[in-house]
Amino acid sequence: MSRTNNLNITNKKNGIDRKLKKNLWGYFFVLPEMVIFLIFVIIPILRGLSFSFLNYNVSGSTWVGLQNFADVFKDDIFWIALKNTSIYTVLVVPGGVGVALMLSWLIFPLSPKLQAFFKAAYYLPGVISGVVVALVWKWIMDPETGLLNYALSFIGLGPYPWLSHPDTALYSLVLIAIMGGQGAAVIIITANMGAIPASLYEAARIDGSSAWHQFRHITLPLLRPTLLYLFVVGMIGSYQVFESVYVLTGGGPYYSTTTIAYLIYSSAFDFFEFGKASAAATVLFVTIFILSLIQFYVFREDKK
Amino acid sequence: MMNTSNRLQRSPGIALAAMAKIAVYALLTAWALAILFPIYWMFLTSLKPGSMVLDVPPQLIPLKVTLQNFKEIFDTAPVARWFLNSVIVTVAVTSGALISDSMAGYTYSLIKPTGYRIFFFMILGCMMIPDQIRIVPLFIMLKDLNWYNTYAGLIVPFMGSAIGMFLMRQYMSTLPIELMEAAKVEGCNEFKIFTRIVLPLSKPVIAVVAITSFVGNWNGFLWPLILTSSTDMRTLPVGIASLQVQFVTNYGIMMAGAAIAAIPVILIFFMFQKYFAKGITLGAVKE
């Protein structure tokens, strides 16, 4: 009796020891990542949120309540930037996903070798730095010596001052973004197309449905989660568009390409308005968060 | 496969089917040419003699090739130093991230200590939050640490990546747990299991994370722009962007600078192509 009891206790103790040991090892292995994230990501995020309510000063910050937000919302340029960023996103994300979807649909039936070839070609521009890509487009879109206006002159168009006119600058940035190749989206879409059971298409074929019909009623609905992913990730990225603006237009002409991310950067590092920049960043964060939720909602509802 | 052959058979007649096929290839090739042309144009311009860059009509094929633009940019701007900075920062960040991401990935996939989900989702959640919210606080913090405009400031804060950690976890959860249990029975501790079993088995995902991290950091712009002040501390993207002021529309030289920043990642792309596709699908395809 007492012997089995003892054994039970030691077993239990061993179990607790093992659990403790396991936990300690587990925490040990996450330690480097957690330290980096805590110090350089999580704390700065929290401080960034709190700066929104402070008048930051090296010698001591003062609490100003919602004053920074009032400053942001009173600023006409903020609303222009929000409008520009939204136009940019509404064109770049659906435009890019649309192009990628079409390319994927055309590529998918090809032989694996050809598929791999086109995917590699479409992905290549995506590995090159946004700064490099922007500089090349600056040269192509140069109003006097650029190749684009030269090419258009043959069909009697132009010359257009692509990046230096308020009517065209933002749309030039949209064009450059979509011309990024869409390789990553094509790779994701075709991979998910491969997961659609072939039997569905066979059944549809027996019913005599057209290729378009199959695309509309099998491919598209089953790709919904993939498209949701691409829309959300694309939206998050494009609401933060910065590099092409910084390199190509500096937000101009006449604020026509000032995006929220560029405005935040310039109020922080051109004007040193840290509180206002942080408040604008908080607004950007909330905007992105709400837009993500809306997209989840829209895509989920349609599922029925 | 069956899908298209069917699509084509449906068209009335073989001629039409062939035409449809040609149209598909034409469209796919046209897009490839359109998006690759800027890269070709960059290299072509960078190799032209300065006097030919602005020729009308523009030369679309290399008639006269020279390295004059490259020589000039190395002579007039500290491009070599920027290149070195980019190498140092990228290699250090990637190595650090590989260590912290793989270790964290091991915890989240195989050890799973009490409460690990909180850490896991906290790190993943950070991906949803725009960088702009951190630019002011991180800038101030690094100034306070005297890390502003130093290698440490460009490296240490970025030695861990949520995506890298996530990819590691995804891959490691597919490893056979029996192997690790057997090792435990034989008296290996977790550290030995990690270094002797898990890491060697995770080579494919380590390659994926290494390459995506390398390319991402090589191309990084916002942080080095904010966290450096002297010309000598710039990385290549920040450096060549700043050359615009100096060379304005001297496109031959500008394209040489752009090419220098682009060549390493293009080479890496051609050498490790399969890992790029793997990295994208590992993160975004449900299996």
Distance of residue A242 Cα from the nearest chain B Cα, in angstroms: 8
pLDDT of res. B112? 85
CB contact under 8 A, A121 and B113: no
Phi and psi angles of residue A62, each rounded to the nearest 5 degrees, phi first: -120, 145
Residues of chain B with pLDDT under 70: 1-12, 283-287
Q: Which residues of B touch A210 (CB under 8 A)?
A: 10
Q: Is the per-residue pLDDT at A303 higher than 50?
A: no
What Å distances lie between residue B144 and A40, A54, A169, A204, A275, CA to CA?
13, 18, 39, 66, 18
* Residues of chain A contacting B134 with CB distance shorter than 8 Å: 41, 44-45, 48
Residues in B touching A111 (Cβ below 8 Å): 1
A-chain residues within 8 Å CB-CB of B10? Answer: 210-211
Report whether pLDDT(A6) > 60.
no
* Contacts with B157 from chain A: Cβ below 8 Å: 36, 39-41
Q: Which residues of A touch B258 (CB under 8 A)?
A: 131-132, 135-136
Q: Which of A56, A187, A285 sits opposite B277 (nearest CB)?
A: A187
User: Among B1, B101, B221, whose Cβ lies nearest the Cβ of A33?
Assistant: B101
What is the distance in angstroms between the Cα of B84 and the nearest Cα belonging to chain A? 17
Query: Per the CB < 8 Å rule, is A108 touching B3?
Result: yes
Q: Closest CB to B133: pick one of A111, A128, A285.
A: A285
Rounded CA separation B242/B256 (Å): 14
Report how far apart, in Å, the C-alpha atoms of A193 and of each of A120, B65, B279, B281 are.
18, 45, 18, 12
Contact at CB, A121 and B32, closer than 8 angstroms: yes
Average pLDDT, chain A: 88
Residue B113 pLDDT = 84
Q: Where are the domains of chain B?
A: 2-67, 69-284
In order, the DSSP letters of B101-139 are HHHHHHIIIII--TTHHHHHHHHHHHTTS-THHHHHHHH
Give the minimum alpha-carbon distance from A24 to chain B in angstroms, rounded to a whole number: 8
Q: Which of A16, A17, A29 to mutate to test the interface with B (most CBs of B within 10 A)?
A: A29
Q: Decide if B165 touches A, using CB distance below 8 A.
A: yes
Check residue B235 and report its DSSP letter: -
Distance CA A138, CA A147 (A): 10
Of the two residues B55 and A14, the one the predictor is more confident about is B55
Per-residue pLDDT band at A54 (split at 50, 70, 90): confident
pLDDT band for position A78 (cuts 50, 70, 90): very high
Contact (CB<8Å) A264/B41:
no
Contact between chains at B130 and A284 (C-beta distance less than 8 A): yes
More confident residue, A158 or B20: B20
| Residue A178 confidence (pLDDT) above 80 | yes
- Name the residue in chain B with its Cα closest to that of A279: B133
| pLDDT, tens digit (0-9, with 9 covering 90-100), for A207-261 | 888 888 888 888 898 998 889 889 988 999 999 999 999 999 988 899 999 999 9
- Comparing A85-89, A174-178, A208-212, the range with the smallest average pLDDT is A208-212
CA distance B237 to chain A (A): 6
Rounded mean pLDDT, A154-173: 90
Residue A23 has a CB neighbour count (10 Å cut-off) of 16
Interchain contact, A139 vs B251, CB within 8 Å: yes
Mean pLDDT computed over A96-116? 93
Contact between residue B207 and residue B276 where contact means Cβ atoms under 8 Å apart: no
Q: Measure B47 CA to nearest chain A CA, in Å.
A: 14
For residue A1, name the pLDDT band (cuts at 50, 70, 90).
very low
CB B180, CB B92: distance < 8 Å: no
Residue B215 carries which side chain, given as an amino acid letter? V
Give the mutation candidate from A52, A69, A131, A270 for the B interface (greatest B CB count, under 10 A).
A131
**pTM score of the predicted model:** 0.88
- Check CB contact under 8 Å for B136 and A192: no
pLDDT of B68-109, one tens digit each?
Answer: 999 999 999 999 999 999 999 999 999 999 999 999 999 888
The reply to whether residue B133 touches residue A274, judged by beta carbons under 8 angstroms, is no
A211 vs B273: CB contact, 8 Å cut-off? no
Q: What is the Cα gyration radius of chain B?
A: 25
Q: How far apart are CA B5 and CA B16, in angstroms?
A: 13
Instruction: Report the percent of chain A where pLDDT is more than 90.
Output: 53
Give how far A229 is from chain B: nearest CA, Å.
8
Q: Are strands A62-63 and A54-55 parallel, antiparallel or unpaired?
A: antiparallel
Residues near B194 by Cβ (< 8 Å), separated by ≥ 6? Answer: A29, B103, B106
Say yes or no: domain B69-284 is CATH 3.30.1230.10.
Answer: no
Say what angle helices B236-247 and A130-140 make with each other, to 10 degrees.
20
- pLDDT, position A133: 96
- Residues 133-152 (B) with a CB less than 8 A from some CB of A: 133-141
Give ipTM to 2 decimals: 0.87
Q: Which chain A residue is nearest to residue B275, measuring alpha carbons?
A: A120
Closest chain A residue by Cα to residue B259: A132
pLDDT at residue A304, rounded to an integer: 44
**For testing the chain B interface, which of A37, A142, A178, A227 should be mutated: the one with the most B CBs within 10 Å?**
A37
